Structure 1
Amino acid sequence: MRRQLILMVAATTSIVLIALLVPMAVLIERFAVEDALAKAGFEVQATETVVAFNDKGAVNVHLDDLNNNEDGLATTVLYPGGQSIGPDGQVTADVLRARDRGVAIVNDSTEGAEVLVPVSVDDEDRPVIRVLVTSQGFNSDVYLSWAILVGLGLGVLALAILVADRLGRAFVRPVVQLAETAGRLESGDLSARVEPAGPPEVREVGTALNRLAARVGHLLAAERENVADISHRLRTPVTVLRLDAEALRDPEERSRLATDVDEMNRMVDDVIREARRPMREGLGAACDALTVVDDRTRFWNVLAEDQNRSVRVDLPEEPVPVRATREDLATAVDALLGNVFSHTPEGTAFAVRLEGVNGQGACLVVSDEGSGFPAGRDVLRRGESQGGSTGLGLDIVRRTAEASGGRVLIGRTPSGGVEVTVELGPPQR
């Protein structure tokens, strides 16, 4: 839009300048010719006065003074009989006609213009004054005037382009801000708002975009609260099931139902945590992965000791900044370690390794010595996991990694266990 406005103004201004300057240039040249002819007329009058005294010596002195001026005029007096005083003594047919008829003649010539004026001294002696007006005498002034016109035209054109550029910026800047705000909303930043500016139509669009963003935020928050509330209501029947399971007399039935109830309780917790999870990944987030991973491994280490699990933690000494909030990364680490405890028998060893990637994020690896995920399943997809889990845990891990500009890789350890590699991108600058 800005470029089109500049091109339109430049084209329009150029057309107007051409329409004005070309006639002005022609008029300047014409005025220069008329001015030169007027000067020639003055010289003719002055020379005619001297010639009328019939003193050729005085005429010679007078013409020397006139022709020494560099004004582009050359004056010659042509006497009958072929005698002449001045630079051009050629007797042409026009000279004879002017002498015979006694009238002044103005002709165009290859060098400019020629003025022929006869002077009546007596009945037999009628000399002719020739003034040759050369274009060299006024071309320099004409070219200077043309150069000034061209300079003024270019100045006006540059000024018009500058004004168009400023107007284009004023028109385009609000639209660019609208696009940037829409991009932030598209990336999940529902707090993004635009300051309405620019023409009334653009301001109206900005106001409507702000209302839309606020409405989407309210609807999303209400939906999440509704889902979390529904999930919360499931806790009561789950608690009742747990009490019923503990009341069974058969140890095998009690153990089997208790395991199922624990799995259901974990599913409810995952749904509540996911429903209340704010949309904050990747929105200018940053944290130290070293601090978060160290804190969460210490938290889970207590349960690992109770279950006689061997834990190996390998952390770097320097901070490892990544593009994720502390809450998001902590949730992802809890999901990874929670899967280890949920889907491997007690006593199964696991390891946590974190390393920086040359200032370009971090690589977090969680591995265990269990039996691994079932073959042929995409465990990163929601609903695809092991042991009846909802799969929300690894889905959270995947979303956190992708929001930071990284990814999640699933592999196997040499012993056949699961190895989850989470690549996290660096913070945005």
Structure 2
Amino acid sequence: MRRSLILTVGATVAVVLLALLIPIAVLLRSYALEDRLSRAALEVQATESVVSGQASDLGAVAHYLDRINSADEGIITTVYYPPSTEHPEGLIVGPDDAREDERIREARRTGQARIDDVEGGAEFLVPVSLGGVNARPEDTPVVRVQVYEESFPSPVHRAWLVLGLLGLVVFGAALVLADRLGRSFVQPIRSLAQRAQQLGTHGHAEPITVEGPAEVAELGAALNRLVVRIEALLVREREGVADLSHRLRTPITALRLGIDSLTDPTERARLSADADRLQAMVDDVVREARRGQREGLIATADAGAVVRERCAFWQPLAEDQRRPFTVTAPETPVLVAVSVEDVAALLDVLLDNVFSHTPEGAGIVVSLSAREGGGAIVEVGDDGPGFPDGVDVSARGASGAGSTGLGLSIAARTAAVAGGSVGIGSSASGGACVRVELGPPQ
């Protein structure tokens, strides 16, 4: 917006300046030429008086022409005397050594002054009457005054330079003003955007105070109202989740007490497994419902640090069961788009599956690597019998090995939240291997 405003103002001011300065420059040039023509007309009259008054003193005429021609380089005055006994070819007094042309002879013959346009200017031709009874037209000297454009630098050129500098100053001032004006618009919007990006993090969102145009202030007020409504909905959701957890745990506890009172061991074991599965599902639902409260809208975790910490937690159990436990994780941060709690829960369920469904002594290999394009790849392999046929990583209760099936479904859901995926396969030793890809934070 700010850049667009500057470009728009700059283009508009440039067009206006060109529309004004170019005609002014042309007018200045025209006025300068008209001024020279006026001075040339006065020069013609003065030269005519000198020539007619000093008809016999050519030296005085030559001195006068030298003086006036040296005073103004844009106006050249020359006197053409007709042929005489002393000067059969005629006499030219002045700086122009060109011979007479047909226009000069015509002006002498007709006795009429004329103005002609010539290359680079104009030319005055004025016959000078010397008086006398026996004066003939062919004896009339002719004054020629040539008017040319002044060479650089001239007053016109200096005026053009001043106009150009003035235009640059106006153009620069317009750009600075547009930048300041754009800043007054953009800065409040930028502050509003930065504050909006902070929404959804932990803690209460303070009301936004927006300064600037009325429209931006109105947008800030609308965002404040939206935040209040969202927080009210979140509070209601958290209260509902807490109430749901309390209401579900009470009948589950009563169900467990009823199961424990059964006398049939087989039936008691079957119903206890069902109660355990139900309890795990309830815990998973409550945990997912509390995700927003726990991590906010923007979750980030260092997967490498979490992998090292959770593997250190499981290491003593692996030692008790004489399991080789290999962990590979880089020391440099590997950021993923899920919370620390979710990465920890993901690794815990995968390791719990290994400890629960492989014999003691079976080795475990955990590796973490950076994913191309950002994120991480977590692999958990073992030396056990491998996965049974028909395992679905996205479904609960379908592991085919007597477990609840929640482990792989939790891993798949966590990977989906992070923009990744889960795959199962075989490890290098022929056992099971789970590969989880987690995307980078946005």
TM range (shorter): 0.7 to 0.9
CA distance 1:215–1:96, change in 2 (3 Å): same
How do 1:23-422 and structure 2 match up within 5 A?
Answer: 23-51=23-51, 52-54=53-55, 55-68=57-70, 71-81=73-83, 82-86=90-94, 87=96, 88-90=98-100, 92-93=102-103, 96-97=106-107, 101=111, 105-123=114-132, 124=135, 127-136=141-150, 141-175=155-189, 189=201, 196-278=210-292, 280=295, 283=298, 285-287=300-302, 289-290=304-305, 292-297=306-311, 299-300=313-314, 309-316=321-328, 319-323=331-335, 325-340=339-354, 344=357, 347=360, 349=362, 351-357=364-370, 363-368=377-382, 375-380=389-394, 387=402, 389=404, 391=406, 393-401=407-415, 407-413=421-427, 417-422=431-436
- Paired letter, 2:14: S
| 2:13 counterpart residue number | 13
Identity of aligned residues (%): 47
- Residues in 1 aligned to 2:405 and 2:329: alpha-carbon distance in whole angstroms: 36
- Residues in 2 aligned to 1:178 and 1:421: alpha-carbon distance in whole angstroms: 41
Which segment drifts farther, 263-272 or 5-14? 5-14
Task: For residue 365 of structure 1, report the CA deviation from its aligned partner.
Answer: 2.8
Aligned length: 420
Contact 1:73 1:137 in 2 (8 A): no
- Paired letter, 1:331: A
- Residues in 2 aligned to 1:415 and 1:282: alpha-carbon distance in whole angstroms: 40
Unaligned runs of 5+ in 1: none
Which segment drifts farther, 256-265 or 159-168? 159-168
Contact 1:99 1:128 in 2 (8 A): no
Contact 1:314 1:353 in 2 (8 A): yes
- Paired letter, 1:115: F
Contact 2:342 2:414 in 1 (8 A): yes
Secondary structure class of the residue paired with 1:196? coil
Task: For residue 266 of structure 1, report the CA deviation from its aligned partner.
Answer: 2.1
- Note the alpha carbon deviations across 1:33-66, whole angstroms, 9 max, x for none: 1222233245335434432133111112222333
CA distance 1:312–1:234, change in 2 (3 Å): farther
Contact 1:17 1:153 in 2 (8 A): yes
Task: For residue 397 of structure 1, report the CA deviation from its aligned partner.
Answer: 3.3
- Paired letter, 1:53: Q
- Paired letter, 1:34: E
CA distance 1:302–1:218, change in 2 (3 Å): farther
- Residues in 2 aligned to 1:261 and 1:284: alpha-carbon distance in whole angstroms: 33
Task: For residue 217 of structure 1, report the CA deviation from its aligned partner.
Answer: 3.9
Contact 2:318 2:324 in 1 (8 A): no
- Residues in 1 aligned to 2:183 and 2:273: alpha-carbon distance in whole angstroms: 66
Secondary structure class of the residue paired with 1:234? helix
- Paired letter, 2:5: L
Secondary structure class of the residue paired with 2:324? strand
Aligned residues: CA RMSD: 4.1
Secondary structure class of the residue paired with 2:29? helix
Contact 1:353 1:364 in 2 (8 A): yes
- TM-score by structure 2 length? 0.76
Contact 1:348 1:370 in 2 (8 A): no
Task: For residue 24 of structure 1, report the CA deviation from its aligned partner.
Answer: 0.8
- Residues in 2 aligned to 1:319 and 1:20: alpha-carbon distance in whole angstroms: 67
- Residues in 2 aligned to 1:382 and 1:3: alpha-carbon distance in whole angstroms: 54
- Note the alpha carbon deviations across 1:247-275, whole angstroms, 9 max, x for none: 22222222222222222222222222222
Task: For residue 25 of structure 1, report the CA deviation from its aligned partner.
Answer: 1.8
